[in-house]
Structure formats: structure tokens, C-alpha cells
Amino acid sequence: MGRPEQKEQTRRRLIDAALALSAAQGFGALSLREIARESGITATGFYRHFRDLDELGLVLVDEVALTLRQLIREARSRFREQGGRTRASVEAFMDYAHQKPHLFRLLLGERLGGSTAFRTALRKEIDRFVAELSDDLEAQARAAKQPTADIPFAAEAIVAIVFSVGAEVLELPRHRHQGLADRIIKEVHLVLKGAGFPLARARKR
């Protein structure tokens, strides 16, 4: 393994350690030494990768943003391929949350809590998320000649629901995920119905 790859690997360990540790008390409670220790390097070695903790923080936000964009791309493709589109999207969300719990913990926690820098950065990403959902819904509504006036509001409401209720996935054992997904889907359907989407009969599981 070459030198750049070695460096990259250490860098990843730092990032992952920061994510894992921030789950306990929030990112704001982390210390540089703690992260370095967890990553198996000296405290001073930290500076070969980041200027300070804030810079690491920005990288974490980018990481969250990236995952969020992958998520919406995934949800969109599932969205087109099959019926039960809400279900497909919600399940995509839950898959991601379950795959990268640390990232989602950071996203959910720092969005409303953390420092100002964190909040504005994350808000930007979630606004993008809302905008894309809004576009998808609008395209669908136009195709079916339904009114589109309520759609931006519906999109924002849906994202609020999915993030807030969906946060539970992080503390639920796997076998209860399905029930949680059903609940979210039910709630999203209420919003869609309120916004004028005629829903196919909800399928029982």
C-alpha cells in the first residue's frame, strides 16, 4: 500500500471515530485527543489531516450531504420502477438510516441542536432534499392533471415527518422496523391525500 492510501485510511479512521463518538453526547462534546486516541494515532498526528475540530466538522457535514443525495437518488429510482411509491421511498430512507446510523444521528442531532455553522449547513442540505421531493411530486401531479399549489408545503411536511418519526429507527430493534415504516407511510399518505393526490388503496402487509 502506497503512502497516499495509508494517509487516506488514517483520515477515514478519524472521521469514523468522530462519528461514532459524537453519538454519545453530540459533536460539540468531542475532544481532539479523544478522537485521535480512538483512531489509534497521537493527538498531534491529528493536525496532519485537519486544521482543527471545526474543519473535521465540515467534512462530516459533507459526508452527511453526500449520503443524503445518494439516498434521494435511490428513492427516486425506486420511485419510478414500482407501485407503492411512498413505501419504496420510506424504505430507502430506513435502509440508509440503518446502514449508517452514526451519520443519521449526527444529521438529526445537529440539525436543530448543534452550533450555528452546523445548523445552517444541514438546513441547506435538507432544503435541497425538500426541493427535489417537491419536483418529483409536481411532475407526478402534472401528469395526472392534478392541482400543484399545495405541493411545496406537502413536500416540507413529508420531510418533517420522515425525519422526525424516522429517527426512531436508530433505537428500535430490527424486527420493529417494518411497523415503524408502516406508520410513517400512513402519515405521509395523509399529507398526500390532503394535497389532492388520489391514493391507490393502501396495501396490507
Interacting residues with DNA (CB under 7 A): 2-4, 6-7, 10, 31-34, 37, 40-49, 52-53
Largest CA distance in the chain: 62
Q: CA triplet 25, 26, 30: central angle to 5 degrees?
A: 85
H or E stretch at 125:
helix 116-143
Q: Measuring CA to CA, how many Å separate 190 from each of 8, 119, 153, 184?
A: 46, 29, 13, 10
**Residue 93 binds which one of a copy of itself, DNA, none, with CB within 5 to 8 A depending on kind?**
none
Nearer to DNA, 11 or 69 (CB): 11
CB 75 within 8 A of CB 92: yes
Distance CA 40, CA 173 (A): 31
Q: Which of 8, 29, 77, 144 binds a copy of itself (CB under 8 A)?
A: 29
Q: How far is the CB of 102 from a copy of itself (least distance, A)?
A: 12
Q: How many residues does the chain have?
A: 205
Nearer to a copy of itself, 37 or 111 (CB): 111
**Residue 156 binds which one of DNA, a copy of itself, none, with CB within 5 to 8 A depending on kind?**
a copy of itself
**Residue 83 binds which one of DNA, a copy of itself, none, with CB within 5 to 8 A depending on kind?**
none
Interaction between residue 25 and a copy of itself (CB under 8 A): yes
- Residues with Cβ within 8 Å of 98's Cβ and at least 6 positions away in sequence, in order, are 169, 174, 177
Q: What residue ranges bind a copy of itself (CB under 8 A)? A: 24-29, 105, 108-115, 119, 150, 153-154, 156-157, 159-161, 163-165, 167, 171, 183, 186-187, 189-195
